[in-house]
Amino acid sequence: MICIMDELSRADGIEDVDNVRILHISSNPIVLKEVGSLLLSSGFLSYAVQRDDVPMEQIILLKPDLILFDIDYPSSLSIVEEILSREPNIPLIIISSLQKGNELLTVKALKMGVSIYVQPKAIQDTLIRAVKSMLSLQGWENDAPSISVLTEESEPLLIGDETDEGLLVKNVSIPWFALSKELRRNPEFLFKIPWRRLEELVAGAYVGDGWARVVLTPRSGDKGRDVIVSGSPGGDTIQIVDQVKAYAKGNNVSADEVRALIGVLHPDNNSSKGFVTTTSSFAPGVYSDKIIQSFVPNRLELIDGEKLRACLSKINRKKKGNEGRS
């Protein structure tokens, strides 16, 4: 059964909201009502489908601009797969809790090509932003903040014990995949990531690349080291430090800033190499500085935004291949 909700006023930041069609599929009538009210309060016309088996013909007939889908049981994946197969150009946002059993379903759905996910506990704060973000990628005008994986509620890392240097990173979680996926879809998204989220993204990349020990240092008092890693994928016992800089587009890292990391390396007898990773680029003076270049590439490596995106894409493919063989 399809329940068509009444149209309301224009949603802030979205042009022609009256023409935006959002389809919400759920087996839970309470969630359908809550999400429907939330969308309605922002001026979106939504269609609610309450059934476990949704005929694709119904979806095609509606021609939605965006689909919201609750994923809470194994058979949900078959519906997700069919939607993505038959309507690959329609953005698909899943609403999923991270309770035991659901996390694996959510990871599989993201790998299938789902756009992003929203946690039910954060739905009031994040759903409308997620909807506006995905609509903007489809060409609708939108000045809304970026997707829910930027919020404090969505932690991209699974944290272990606390050490003298910071927090041990055990593994990446679903928001890390969502961040990486959004970067592949929209390279400019890199400039919207807050500095702490960027550090977490980089730390997760080391985990995904196979480093044995990854430490995320504190928000303050990190002594110029944002991420500390050791135990390379090749089995070497070397330790490296990474200084991560979330800079706006066009705001390049200066030679003085790079030399500051070299200053960190000198007294640190445990670290063999340093990385400076930035969302932006490096100033021309970095490449002509004789002191800096004497450290490159054996003791110092410079990772700009383009290299960072390429690295994340490579690690995603590697991680997906490893999981496919397990």
pLDDT (tens digit, 9 = 90+) per residue, 230-272?
A: 998 888 888 999 999 999 999 999 999 999 999 888 777 788 8
CA distance 135 to 129: 10
**pLDDT at residue 99, as a whole number:** 54
Say whether 107 sits in a helix, a strand or coil: helix
Q: Say yes or no: 269 and 200 in one domain.
A: yes
- CATH number, residue 238: 3.40.1350.10
Q: Which of the two residues, 302 and 78, has the higher pLDDT score? A: 302
Which tokens hold the place of 310? Answer: 């390429």
User: Which of 102, 133, 150 is the C-terminal boundary of a domain?
Assistant: 150
**pLDDT at residue 138, as a whole number:** 57
Q: Say yes or no: 145 and 198 in one domain.
A: no
Q: Say yes or no: 165 and 308 in one domain.
A: yes
**pLDDT at residue 139, as a whole number:** 55
* Owning domain of residue 104: 2-150
Distances (CA, A) of 257 to 175, 178, 278: 30, 30, 11
pLDDT digits (tens, 9 = 90+) for 13-48: 334 444 577 888 888 888 888 888 888 777 776 777
pLDDT digits (tens, 9 = 90+) for 184-213: 778 888 998 889 999 999 999 999 899 999
Which tokens hold the place of 60? Answer: 């095609």
How would you classify residue 275: left for phi > 0, otherwise alpha for psi between -120 and 50, otherwise beta? beta
Which tokens hold the place of 117? Answer: 């996910």
Q: Say yes or no: 297 and 166 in one domain.
A: yes
User: Which of 123, 150, 177 is the C-terminal boundary of a domain?
Assistant: 150
Say whether 18 sits in a helix, a strand or coil: helix
Q: Say yes or no: 233 and 200 in one domain.
A: yes
Phi, psi of 236 (to 5 degrees): -70, 155
Q: Say yes or no: 64 and 167 in one domain.
A: no
Beta bridge partners of 66: 22
Q: Say yes or no: 180 and 77 in one domain.
A: no
Neighbours of 320 (CB within 10 A): 12
Q: In which band, very low, low, confident or very high, does the pLDDT at 325 lie, cut at 50, 70 and 90?
A: very low
Neighbours of 221 (CB within 10 A): 7
CA distance 63 to 57: 10
Q: Which of the two residues, 166 and 102, has the higher pLDDT score? A: 166
* 288 pLDDT more than 70: yes
Helix crossing, 174-185 with 102-112: angle to 10°?
A: 10
Q: Say yes or no: 177 and 277 in one domain.
A: yes
**Contact by Cβ (8 Å): 273, 299:** yes
Count up the domains in the chain and report the number. 2
Which of 103-117, 167-181, 196-210 holds the top average pLDDT?
196-210
Which residue is it, tokens 């309507």?
Answer: 87
pTM above 0.75, yes or no: no
Q: 41, exposed or middle or buried, with CB in 10 Å at 0-12, 13-18, 19+?
A: exposed
* 182 pLDDT more than 80: no
Q: Say yes or no: 119 and 166 in one domain.
A: no
| Residue (of 95, 88, 93, 17) closest to 56 by Cα position | 88
- CATH number, residue 81: 3.40.50.2300
Q: Say yes or no: 143 and 90 in one domain.
A: yes
User: Which of 126, 150, 174 is the C-terminal boundary of a domain?
Assistant: 150
Q: Which of the two residues, 315 and 116, has the higher pLDDT score? A: 315
Q: Say yes or no: 146 and 164 in one domain.
A: no
- C-alpha angle 171/229/306, rounded to 5°? 85
Q: Say yes or no: 91 and 229 in one domain.
A: no
